[in-house]
Amino acid sequence: MAVRVRMEQALTRTVAAAALLAALGPAGAALAEDAATRPAIRTNRWQEDWSALANPALRTAAFDPIKYIPLRPGAPQSYVSFGMTLRERFESLDAASFGIGGTRPDSHLLQRLQIHADAHLDAHWQLFVQLEDDRAFGKAAITAVDQDPLDLRLAFLAYVNATEHGTFKARVGRQDFDFDLQRFVSSRDGPNVRQSFDAIWGDWETGPWRFIGFVSQPVQYNLLHPFDDMSNGRVLFHTFRVERQVLGSNELSSYYSYYQRDNARFLDAGGTEQRHVLDIRFAGKLAGFDWDLEAMGQAGSVGSKQI
Q: Please write the tens of the pLDDT for every residue from 62-81.
A: 889 999 999 998 888 999 99
The per-residue pLDDT for 15 is: 33
150 domain residue, yes or no:
no
- Do residues 119 and 240 share a domain? no
Rounded to whole angstroms, how far apart are CA atoms 279 and 256?
Answer: 7
> Which of 82, 113, 141 lies at the terminal end of a domain, its last residue?
141
3-state SS class at 58: helix
pTM: 0.82
pLDDT score at 39: 81
Q: Cα separation of 159 and 174, whole Å? A: 14
Which helix (H) or strand (E) segment is 241 a member of?
strand 235-246
Task: With beta carbons less than 8 A apart as the criterion, state whether 289 and 283 touch.
Answer: no
Q: Determine the Cα angle at 226 with ends 220 and 228, to 5°.
A: 35
pLDDT at 47: 93
Question: In this structure, how many other beta carbons lie within 10 angstroms of the beta carbon of residue 287?
Answer: 4
pLDDT at 74 (0 to 100): 85
Same domain membership, residue 269 and residue 215: yes
Q: Is the dihedral of CA 82, 28, 191, 293 positive or negative?
A: negative
Q: Is 64 helix (H, G, I), strand (E, B) or coil?
A: helix
Residue 237 lies in a domain: yes
Q: How far apart are CA 225 and CA 63, in angstroms?
A: 32
Q: Give the pLDDT score at 96.
A: 66
Specify if 190 maps to a domain: yes
Distance CA 22, CA 104 (A): 39
- Residue 151 domain flag: no
The distance from CA 96 to its chain's CA centroid, rounded to whole angstroms, is: 29
Query: Is residue 235 domain-shared with residue 281, that is, in the same domain?
Result: yes
Please state, in angstroms and rounded to a whole number, the distance separating the CA atoms of residues 229 and 221: 5
Say whether both 165 and 306 belong to one domain. yes
The per-residue pLDDT for 90 is 95
Instruction: For 217-247, write each residue's pLDDT tens digit.
Output: 999 998 888 999 999 999 999 999 999 999 8
Q: What pLDDT score does 102 carry?
A: 62
Pairing of strands 125-137, 79-94: unpaired
Nearest to 168 by CA among 136, 210, 215: 210
Question: Has residue 228 been placed in a domain?
Answer: yes
Neighbours of 174 (CB within 10 A): 22
Query: What CA–CA distance (Å, rounded) separates 147 from 141?
Result: 11
Domain that includes residue 210, residue range: 156-307
Q: 48 and 126 share a domain?
A: yes
Q: What is the mean pLDDT of each run of 10 residues along the chain (307 residues)?
A: 34 32 38 58 92 89 90 91 96 77 80 97 96 93 90 97 96 94 86 95 96 96 90 96 93 96 93 96 93 95 93
Other CB atoms within a 10 A radius of the CB of residue 51 amount to 18
pLDDT (0 to 100) of residue 2: 36
Instruction: Tell me the Cα Rg of the chain.
Output: 22
- Structural domains of the chain, count: 2
Enumerate the H helices of 44-138 as residue ranges: 64-67
Longest dimension (CA), the chain: 67
Q: Are residues 116 and 193 in the same domain?
A: no
